[in-house]
Amino acid sequence: MSRAFGYLTLIIVVAIGAYIYVRQTQKVMTAGTANPAGTADLIGVKNDLLAIAQAERAYAASHGKFVSIDELRSDGALTMTREHRGPYTYSAEVNESDFHIVATYSGPENTGMPRTLSIDQTMQISQQ
């Protein structure tokens, strides 16, 4: 009897975990657009922003200041060579004590894509 109860409990826990996983995956996949290519671009842009921000933080840890994206590339702190992904173009506003990396949308109107995505030294991505 106790084995059956344990097995039933295990199945219920796995089912709840699978349900939560599927719901979280759906939220990520529909974040911003119903277009699959747009969703892929959006996820890629978020990953690029995180990579640039991590490179900024690593550079600042070793050099004591934040620098432009081009300086990160020339120093070897950032291996990402692209200036854009899909309809988004990257830019950086930096000074010695903080940075703000922005991805600006320049594609067609009314696609549901956020106009800008940005990240700063707090590593939080925000979108408008």
| Residue located via tokens 């950032």 | 78
Q: Residue 107 — pLDDT band, cuts 50, 70, 90?
A: confident
pTM for the full predicted model:
0.72
Write phi, then psi, for 41 (nearest 5 degrees). -60, -45
Q: Regarding predicted confidence, which is higher, 83 or 23?
A: 83
| Residue located via tokens 């990160």 | 72
| Residue located via tokens 């060579």 | 81
Give the tens place of pLDDT for each residue, 46-104: 999 999 999 999 999 999 999 999 999 999 999 988 899 989 999 999 988 899 999 99
* Domains of the chain by residue range: 1-30, 36-127
